[in-house]
Structure 1
Amino acid sequence: MHATPPARLRAMALGLLGSAPEADRAVRTAERALAAYGPGPRARRGPGPVPDPGPPPEAVLARVCLGRLRAREARRTDPWDPWSDAPGSAGPTPAERLVLVLHDRFGVPYETLAPVLERAPAAVRQIGARARARAGGTESMPAPDPALLRTAVDAVLAAAREGDTAALCALLDPDAVLRADTGAVRGGVRPAHGAPAVARVLAARAAVARPALVDGAPGLIAAPDAVYVFTAPAGPITSIDVLADPPHLSRLAIAAS
């Protein structure tokens, strides 16, 4: 069984969850899962006589905390202000937070986090780069090829018009987020996290949209005056921002395309 000091696990959980009681519960859950591995009569065994040491404790804890972060994000209903300076107004996704805390702060290798996030190590590196860009004060990673983004946005629009949530899910990152400002929330748009939830919102709300250029990048506009801004730094769409507040729209250059 891999050995990791309990104090280190608790520090990781606290960094991820931000709450001491919740961190303690996460550590206890991880310890129960780890107890199934290692020497002893109940040990799970591999193909030979040597007891299976199991995954690294950091990976087990990461999986527990990721589930809690995703559940927390799924319950989020507060409107989003893209120009707010308030902490957490455009915070990292659960996957981004996992990489920022565990890799950058505690040195957990990308290879350890990759199975937890169900991505290749190279994709986990991209998640980290995106998270660092946001944490460093930039709004997003550098824009991808506009033609590729246009293809993705057109595919979203076509799938939304068909009500094809499976096709929409295939275009989205598993941890995709849909954020909505106060005006969009008043218009019936609700924040969503995770590809299935975001796909359901798009199927219900984006079917009546039409292509647009938002600050020169491919996006969508839907009556009455709701703009959909897409971010896709590494292929799949990672975030969609729905803006409808007049002060927000006034900051954008919007043109039909």
Structure 2
Amino acid sequence: MDEKKILAGQFEANRGHLSAVAFRMLGSRSEAEDAVQEAWLRLNRTDVGDVENLGGWLRTVVARICLDMLRSRKLRREEPMGDVEPGLPSDAETVSYDPEYQIAMADSVGLAMLVVLETLGPAERVAFVLHDMFDLPFDDIAPIVGRTTDATRKLASRARQRVQGTPVSPEADRARQRRVVEAFIAASRDGNFEALLSILDPDVVFRADEAAMRLGSEAELRGPEAVAGHFKGRAHGAKPATLDGALGVLVEAGGKTLLVLRVTLKGDRIIGIEAVADRESLADLKVAVLD
């Protein structure tokens, strides 16, 4: 029993790093947690008494699991598994299922980077992530991807060229924009000031029409601190939506539209927000809630 507790403690000490590795490889929080969960199960089925570097062993296991998941995704386009097997240490959800964690992870990688990584093949992606993001030697990566060291080096080099030179398609750019809007809504709803700051551009400006001001909005705010403070804890009833085809936010109350937020992005950050609550203006908008 004591050995199991020690093993669980060692796993927990490595959880953050393993989640970061898996997230960068998979681009999905839920799939990353599936990979970490599977690593925990494999750890419990394996005698690691002779393993000198448990952290390195776990990272290798997670990388191989992610490679299998990427290959499976590419072949069958399967959805991430929703069921979680029992047995993970009891505080498993304290970090990895926290919306704050998800936003912080996405920001640390870069939303645009996640989009571009999707263009890489499974082995390319694993080689690039492990070497360029985690500085793992090619000699250590080669057994994971099943290639020679030289072939693995070429994989990472080819991936690096694609990451640096691949233009983002309109569909990928729309997906990136949606992630930013959804991250903004989640951070606002959770009252996560730091996450809001990470999403807002240093020159962000918020403006509200007179109808929105009557609902409690400020007329104008400038700077991420002021805008983040205004939206902290306020996104209840907010949903991502298209406003005349552009991405924005719909805010409802009692099943009725309260106002909309026109959102302007600069790269991966929000630089402009306009609150519109005027009835006539809303009536002229074509609003479609995103699933």
TM-score grouping bracket, smaller chain normalisation: 0.3 to 0.5
Query: What is the TM-score normalised by the length of structure 1?
Result: 0.42
Query: What is the TM-score normalised by the length of structure 2?
Result: 0.37
